Amino acid sequence: MINMMRAELYRLSKSKGLYICLFLLLFTYGMAAVLKAPGGISLSAMVSFDKSSDVKLDINQISFNYTYYFAFIGLVFSAISVEFSEKTVKNTLTSVTDKSRYFIAKFTGTVVFGLYVYIVMHLLYYIVNRIVNGTAYSSDFGSYAAAMAKHLPIMIAILSIFSFLAFFFRKGALFNTFAIGGPVLYTTVALTLYSINATQKIAEKLLEYELGSMLSKIVLDSDSKYLISCFTVCSAVTLISFFLGWLSFTRRETD
Amino acid sequence: MRETILKTTGLTKRYKKFTALDSADMTVYSGDIYGLIGRNGAGKTTFMKVITDLTDQTSGEYELFGKKSSDTAGEKRRIGCLIENPAFFGNMTAWQNLRYYCYQKGITDLKQIDRALELVQLTEVRNKKFRKFSLGMKQRLGIAFALLDNPDLVILDEPINGLDPIGISELRETFLKLNKEQGITFIISSHILSELYAVANRFMFINNGKVLKEISKEELDLECSRCIVVKTSDTKKAVTVLEQELGVSSYKVTSSSEIRIYSDEAAPDIINQKLVGAGVPVSGIYESGVSLEDYFKTLIGEVSE
């Protein structure tokens, strides 16, 4: 499995798409540091930024981690979908390993690499923000690291869902459609249910665990009960995605 | 006795109601160059996909390097494959693509990449991106991938597709050389009989998913060579007459009612005269001899009927 992951790193290092993703991330976070204002992608729930609050710029920036959702689409596409679109998956399955090991290596490799990018980018941002804006806009490293760590289970869950989608759909276009459209679909369903009296409570729960809400609330609020429930949801999503992805890949024909 | 590399028993693959492979039985021995001959859609690729684990068989079993099909994962590194079209990453060069698979296979000796590229005459374009390759170059890279890491078994599906005549000839020499010098066993599929005939020492004819015949090159030569076919219900007596009265020594009793005579020692009319004279019931006597193509056509015809 280590060999497979090393191979993946080698291949990703040759992929232009990955560098574009990394550049966009750096650009977004660089802008936030230079303009002294948090920012990024927030599709479904706007994050409110109160300049008078005690929360400093770097932690507020973490609440904009929705940006990684889109960066991870690029990563999973490069790591998994391309193998199906280029049909290179058969090379590995015929001469290197079996389907189960292949799936585990790809799934784990994608999650590990995604988290690596996530952590490195945040550390980089912290250092740049500290140097550029000083302590007035920068938290102590412990608080920053804790806020960053709170998002790790969510990031793992996102990478897991994407890995499942990539193995399930196989075709890059379908994967992209569902991955990009997923949050919009989720919010649309939740808001539709909200407008119906009988399903309002379900809708409230759905909106509570909507990605944008989780990303900001988990960092900006200190409700431990919500934190635990978020981690539970993320763990369940990760496990289910792993199982369904494995089932879908190992039980179906490989073209 | 030679080691058995691959043995299949009743290997069957069905896609809903369509049977792509129907109870295939075959054995490949170490050092064989095993030719899989069949028309397009005959079941050659399905057969290869099953034994390389790309698809599961519906029923039947196969053993690879003495291990059951459910337990072959550990043997994968002993296999080199090119199934259907060669597939690589378009944004990477030939060398980088092979480097990627070296990482996967845990190959640390990178000279193997250059060696594989040299075997298929791709050294000069090692730094060219795969997406810029011609069809023939792509095919060569696929073969280089299959030959990486000195495999014990190389499985090639239509490897000469897209190659020019000189390229085909060069590859043929490469296969023969690797087989002879390194003892690599090959399973090669093709619908071009003459090309397979030039390299393989054993053949499997397949049509509509059914194995028609498994035959060695010597047997194939014998079946295709010019001969006189004698049809008789008493082959034992006929053989005595042929040997003692006509001095025929090169013949083969191919069934309970057929003898094939391969020598020019006697003409059909003389043979007929002698056999009838000795009281042997002759129901037919004729000259035969077919090209590989006609032989294959006859095989398919026999089954279709």
Q: Give the per-residue pLDDT at B132.
A: 92
Burial class of residue B17, CB neighbours in 10 A (0-12, 13-18, 19+): exposed
Average of pLDDT values for A241-247?
Answer: 96
Predicted confidence at residue A50, as pLDDT, reads: 54
Pick from B100, B129, B133, B184 the residue to mutate for testing the A interface (most A CBs within 10 Å). B100
Cβ contacts (< 8 Å) between B103 and chain A: which residues? 3-4, 6-7, 10
pLDDT in tens, B101-110: 999 999 999 8
Residues near A8 by beta carbon (within 8 Å), at least 6 away in sequence: A79, A105, A106, A109, A113
Considering only residues A223 and A108, tell me which one the structure prediction assigns the higher pLDDT.
A108
CA distance A25 to chain B (A): 23
Give burial (CB, 10 Å; 0-12/13-18/19+) of B33: buried
Percent of chain A predicted with pLDDT > 90: 39
pLDDT tens digits, one per residue of B196-235: 888 899 999 998 889 888 888 888 887 777 788 899 999 9
- What is the percent of chain B where pLDDT is above 90? 34
Answer yes or no: is pLDDT of A169 > 90. Answer: yes
- What's the whole-number mean pLDDT along residues A114-125? 92
Mean pLDDT for A217-232 is: 85
Question: Complex ipTM, two decimals?
Answer: 0.84
Contact across the interface for A7 and B81, Cβ inside 8 Å: no
Residue bearing the bigger pLDDT, A162 or A5: A162
List of residues 6+ apart from B257 with CB closer than 8 A: B231, B232, B233, B235, B283
Mean of pLDDT values over B72-79: 82
| A216-226 average pLDDT score | 82
What is the overall mean pLDDT for chain B?
87
pLDDT in tens, B6-49: 999 999 999 988 999 998 899 999 999 999 988 888 889 999 99
Give mean pLDDT, residues A186-191: 88
**Confidence at A40, pLDDT banded by 50, 70, 90:** low
Q: Which fold has domain B4-216?
A: Rossmann fold (3.40.50)
Q: What is the pLDDT of residue A220?
A: 80
Is the model's pLDDT at B65 over the cut of 70? yes
Q: Pull the structure tokens for residue B166.
A: 């000189």
Domain boundaries defined on chain B: 4-216, 226-288
Q: What is the DSSP string of A210-240?
A: SHHHHHHHHHH---HHHHHHHHHHHHHHHHH
**A90/B contact by beta carbon, under 8 A:** yes
Residue B92 in this model has a pLDDT that exceeds 90: yes
**Which tokens go with B202?**
């054993």
**Quick one: fold of B226-288?**
Alpha-Beta Plaits (3.30.70)
A7 → closest Cβ in B54, B103, B155: B103
The Cα of B192 is separated from the nearest Cα of chain A by a number of Å equal to 24
Instruction: Name which of A241, A246, A255 is nearest A84 in CA terms.
Output: A255
**Residue B94: its pLDDT value, please?**
95
Judged against a pLDDT cut of 50, whether residue B305 lies above it is answered with no
pLDDT of residue B304: 46
Tell me whether A187 touches chain B (CB under 8 Å): no
**What is the rounded distance in angstroms from the CA atom of residue B172 to the CA atom of residue B64?**
25
Q: Two tokens at B23?
A: 């109870």
pLDDT recorded at residue A52: 55
More confident position, B153 or B195: B153
* Distance, CA of A243 to CA of A236 (rounded, Å): 11
**Cβ B81–A6 below 8 Å, yes or no?**
no
Q: Is the pLDDT of residue A44 over 80?
A: no
Calculate the alpha carbon distances from A114 to A17, A68, A104, A159 in Å. 14, 9, 15, 7
Instruction: Supply the pLDDT for residue B166.
Output: 85
